[in-house]
Amino acid sequence: MSASGEPAVLLTGNHAVAWGARLARPQVAPVYPITPQTPVLEKLTEFQARGEFDAEILTPESEHSVMSACIPASLAGARVFTATASQGLLLMHELLHYASGARAPIVMANVNRTVASPWAFWPDQTDSLAQRDTGWIQLYVESAQEALDTVVQAFRIAEQALLPVLVNLDAFYVSHALEPVRVPSQATVDAYLPPFAPARRLDTAHPSGWGNVVTQEMYAAHRRAIEDAMAQVPALAAEADREWAAHTGRSHGVVERYRCDGAKTVVVTLGSLCGTAREAVDGLRDAGHAVGLVKVRLFRPLPAAALRAALDGVADAIVLDRNHSPGAGGVLAQELRAAFCGSAGAPRIRGCLAGVGGVNVPPERIAEWVLQTPAGHAPAPMEWMR
């Protein structure tokens, strides 16, 4: 199918997420309000009130109960969507492990917001990056359009891998900024995303269960099966994106190289900082510097092979981490160092804590950091950028 010709409308990232969810036709949507995710919830209930969205919307007393409801709903064979942010995601932590263990292909949008204490409401990705070991696939988006497209793609990836997917968008920069978005037709999405029809489900006609106590060997075998499924995800995500391009004309990649040809220095980051870094790279290129951007869209599992290829021949990788792991620095920098560990010709990886707590990062500042990167010696494990 060729690119669809829908006109662009102005949507916030949150409303784009709600449109993506609506078009994916989930059957159950438990959800609890939290700033800055609330417009997702309100748009879905508005769609439902207008008769345009017929999912069972469930509004329990906490995010913990939201995820508790999502898992058996998914195991009963329903497509399930929810959305949260920050403290809500942290409250779900126990159930995030439970969901991936149950192989429940839930899709959840998370609006990246600072983690308390102290209280704050600004863009910061520590909330989701702290969930990296929970068995959820993680994608990060930089625009409202990408948010819509990624929610739909996420269902396809989740239901093929039988693993849950977290779609992350930065607070306010993406969640609340109005941008032109092309909303695909229902027919386009229906052609792309078949109904959820798992081979096994909770069914009184064929009684079986989930959650029984297992032996050590059964537990270990189950973890290996989850790992095998994770190993398929970079290819599944790339295929889901290519197919989306065939249906809509839009592709976002798993890892995106932006103006990297011949680049000796490359900025590597996640989410809305990619948009800022594009401007910085454009300015630096205009001034004659061989600088590019690598955007990490799929963070978990980290597409290590794709990242090594994307950074082949690069001398310096400047990782911008809008998150903080005390004692270890930025999470993306740690992950990138691990991906290159033992590789010949690995770039020097400069771990920059940039924009932590929502501190503004203008493009000019990124350009300064690039130009001030000292050549030829090992960088510090982490640097607080100002």
Partner 1 sequence: MSDATTTGSPAPAGPAEELLCPGHAACPGCVEPLTVRHVLGVLGPDTMAVIPPSCMAIIAGPQPFSSLRIPVYQPTLESSAAAASGLRRALDARGERDTQVIVLAGDGGTYDIGLQCLSSAAERNENILYFCLDNEGYMNTGGQKSSSTPHFASTGSTPAGKTARKKNLAEIVAAHGVPYVATASVGHLADLRRKVAKARAIRGFRLLTLLIPCLDGWGLRDDGALAAARHAVECGAFPLFEIEDGCRYTINQPRPTRPVAEYLALQRRYRHLTAEQTRVLQAEVDEGWARLERRAA
Q: Does residue 372 touch partner 1 according to CB under 8 A? A: no
- Which of 3, 8, 178, 214 touches partner 1 by CB under 8 A? 214
Among 285, 313, 297, smallest CA distance to 256 is for 297
Among 276, 324, 333, 272, smallest CA distance to 111 is for 272
State which amino acid sits at residue 234.
Answer: P
Q: Does residue 56 touch partner 1 according to CB under 8 A? A: yes
Rounded least distance, CB 134 to partner 1, Å: 14
Rounded least distance, CB 81 to partner 1, Å: 12
Q: Does residue 74 touch partner 1 according to CB under 8 A? A: yes
Query: What is the 3 state secondary structure string of 115-151?
Result: CCCCCCCCCCCHHHHCCCCCCCEEEEECCHHHHHHHH
Rounded to whole angstroms, how far apart are CA atoms 234 and 255?
Answer: 10
Stretch that binds partner 1, among 45-53, 65-73, 141-149, 233-241 (CB under 8 A): 65-73
Q: Does residue 51 touch partner 1 according to CB under 8 A? A: no
**Would you state the structure tokens that stand for residue 9, as one six-digit string?**
């409308």
Rounded to whole angstroms, how far apart are CA atoms 226 and 213?
Answer: 18
Stretch that binds partner 1, among 204-212, 274-282, 296-304, 364-372 (CB under 8 A): 204-212
Q: Does residue 326 touch partner 1 according to CB under 8 A? A: no
- Which of 199, 213, 341, 375 touches partner 1 by CB under 8 A? 213
* 24-35: b (≥16 Cβ within 10 Å) or e: bbbbbbbbbbbb
Size of the site for partner 1 (CB under 8 A): 41
- Tell me phi and psi for residue 291, to 5 degrees: -125, 140
Rounded least distance, CB 311 to partner 1, Å: 41
Stretch that binds partner 1, among 44-52, 214-222, 330-338, 345-353 (CB under 8 A): 214-222
C-beta separation of 177 from 144 below 8 A: yes
C-beta separation of 294 from 325 below 8 A: no
Q: Which of residues 90-149 bind partner 1 (CB under 8 A)?
A: 94-95, 98
DSSP H or E segment with residue 75: helix 63-75
- Which of 2, 117, 212, 216 touches partner 1 by CB under 8 A? 212
Q: Does residue 28 touch partner 1 according to CB under 8 A? A: yes
Rounded least distance, CB 107 to partner 1, Å: 15
Residues that bind partner 1 in the complex, under the rule CB under 8 A: 27-28, 30, 55-56, 58-62, 64-66, 68-78, 80, 94-95, 98, 202-204, 207-215, 218
